[in-house]
Amino acid sequence: MSKLKNNVEKLNALIREGKIREAFEKYYGDDVITQVNGNPPIHGKEANRKREVIFLQEIEKLNNAEINSVTFGGTEDNISMTEWAINIENKEGVKKIIYRVNVQHWKDNKIIDEKIYFCGDQKF
């Protein structure tokens, strides 16, 4: 589990620094499956890269990203969950805090499955 904790700490550090694309490229598997708020899953790194670009286009500035909690577990010690409060700003200067939880299943030091749960309205 120490390898998992180390990977999650490094992943989260990149995100907190605003290096979201770098974190994605380094820690997500090529065949990753991502599901957001129970919507149909998105298969593969390329399709998820496009989803991430759409999300990032809304953001002009990352003011800060706070981690409220991180947990680890799973029957194979391969699951991490991170609760975030992300303070962002759009191109018009509108500020918003996004609350989300990422549930990530890991294999071979890469995220292979992720479920993202947003709390409340996450659009500008």
The domain ranges of the chain are 2-119
pTM for the whole thing? Answer: 0.89
DSSP lists the bridge partners of residue 103 as: 81, 115
Q: What percent of the chain has pLDDT over 70?
A: 98
**Mean local confidence (pLDDT), 19-29:** 95
pLDDT at residue 52 in the model = 80
pLDDT at residue 82 tops 70: yes
The pLDDT score that the predictor gives to residue 53 is 75
Mean pLDDT for 36-41 is: 94
Cα dihedral 14→19→22→25 (10° resolution): 80
Mean pLDDT of 48-58: 80
The CATH fold assigned to 2-119 is Nuclear Transport Factor 2; Chain: A, (3.10.450)
